[in-house]
Amino acid sequence: MPYVLALDAGTTSCRALIFDETGPVCQIAQREFRQHYPQPGWVEHNAHDIWETQLSVARQAIEQQGIHARDLAAVGITNQRETTIVWDRKTGQPICPAIVWQDRRTAPMCDRLRRDGVEGLVTERTGLVLDAYFSATKVAWILDNVSGARERAAAGKLAFGTVDTWLIWNLTKGKSHLTDVTNASRTQLFNIHTRQWDAELLSLFGIPRAMLPDVCESSGQLAEVAAEQFGAAIPIAGIAGDQQAALFGQLCVHRGETKTTYGTGCFMLQHTGDTPVASRSRLITTIAAAPAGQVAYALEGSVFIGGAVVQWLRDGLRAIVSSEEIRDLAGSVPDSGGVYFVPAFAGLGAPYWDANARGMIIGLTQGTTVAHIARAAVESIAHQVADLAAAMQSDSGVTLPEMKVDGGATRDDLLLQFQSDLLHVPLVRPAVTETTARGAAFLAGLAAGVWTDVSQLATLEKIDRRFEPRMDQAVVTQARERWKRAVSRCKNWEGDE
């Protein structure tokens, strides 16, 4: 039986999952790596930590499954997007810490560019709003703030990559400097219409073409893992940014099909077919992952702090010892007691795009307990996703018949029931919730011949549970109105009065 290895390099951990041709997860290994917060609004990773953690869990999964690397038909890679790494081509050493997608240090640069009137050009070419979220200003910051970096980059001595590119560079021992179209489309340097690096955008951000990777499709014979990594050479046959991988893993491959991933952040993607749809609601137009030779696009809304709010309750507030405790604590009260929690720790993402917003808990009374705050934290995830759904329906004109969900937080039935109530549509939780890794595996397995086409993949689908809306609509309306009032109070907190 052929196996496919999926490498899933997330924001807080790396995982390796092994799938067989019948579709379920056969084996999984996972390990967290350190997060670094050197200044308020800054988020960094040690790029070596990402690589070493990913390599170790991959080896662990292969060993636990009791197979040899020769048994792997292909490797698929999926990754946290936008996180920016620059390294020396000769030594392979990063020249500074990786700047994570959540990092807000380049917000002033985005403000300056916005004042210069270039946001329209950027959005038209890339489908993205001008924001510190994306890679372009992060690369520019590195070139401007690391001694000698700009000169070395212009001379072709430095390489830039998102996490997929960094992993491929190391897996291939520096032979392949590569990214796929989905990750390229998140850099703010890639023209999603021509599907090429855009010379005018490179000039605008001051980034030399010489440091950029080659761009490939999301599925195909793309590169090869060096034999010494796992004991045999293995084709890298699938690459996709995590949210595009999840969209494909949920088999949302037709116009209007929609999924939301509940991870560190929350990401709603709706397939728009082979044509990009320009957003009027400040959503993102992005390239979707597709089998070799196919072109696909999606609308996307991004919530910066989703499941990460639970991590903050654990590590920051120390209200819980483990993330799993949130379900019992939040479920111990019937509602939030009028408490609303806007977790704008790193600003607000879509549809607000407010880098100056900051987190807020409002509605506290003497009767408020930590359980109410926990409940409000869980409900904040659903409210932010509901904001995305409203914007997406406005842009696409598609009324959701249902929404597919995945990610770690979807183990929380309370969250999913509340989400179904807010959206007033059914939510579908698959039996295999590891859809991000599964999407990478599907893309790789299609290219390697493990599966023949998407229709065969559809036969592997199994549903765990459907959540149907049941809350009175008047209660939902009041909750949404109060949420919007809470958001309005935390916006532009760090901005000018």
Q: How remote is the C-alpha of 285 from its chain's centroid?
A: 14
Residue 213 belongs to what H/E stretch?
none
Are the C-beta atoms of residues 28 and 98 closer than 8 Å to each other? no
What is the pLDDT, as a whole number, of residue 286?
A: 93
Domain ranges for the chain:
3-243
Are the C-beta atoms of residues 283 and 391 closer than 8 Å to each other? yes
pLDDT band at 181 (very low <50, low <70, confident <90, very high): very high
Whether residue 1 is predicted with pLDDT greater than 80 in this model: the reply is no
- Count Cβ atoms below 10 Å from residue 471 Cβ, excluding itself: 14
pLDDT band at 317 (very low <50, low <70, confident <90, very high): confident
Instruction: Enter the pTM of the model.
Output: 0.86
- What contacts 200, CB < 8 A, 6 or more positions away? 121, 125
What is the pLDDT, as a whole number, of residue 24?
A: 84
- Count Cβ atoms below 10 Å from residue 361 Cβ, excluding itself: 18
Q: Which CATH class is domain 3-243?
A: alpha beta
What is the pLDDT, as a whole number, of residue 496?
A: 59
Q: What angle do CA 136, 139, 144 make, to 5 degrees?
A: 125
- Residue identified by tokens 């030399």 is 208
Helix and strand numbers, DSSP H then E, in the chain: 17, 23
Average pLDDT, the chain: 93
351 upstream amide cis, omega within 30 of 0: yes
What is the pLDDT, as a whole number, of residue 397?
A: 84
What is the pLDDT, as a whole number, of residue 426?
A: 96
Whole-angstrom Cα Rg for the chain: 22
| Lowest-pLDDT choice from 1-5, 81-85, 183-187, 197-201 | 1-5
- Cα 112 from Cα 487, distance rounded (Å): 25
Tens-digit pLDDT profile for residues 261-301: 898 889 899 999 998 988 888 898 999 999 999 999 999 99
Give the strand pairing for 463-467 and 427-430: antiparallel
- Residue identified by tokens 């493990």 is 450
Mean pLDDT over 30-59 rounds to 93
Q: Which two tokens stand for residue 464?
A: 């765990």
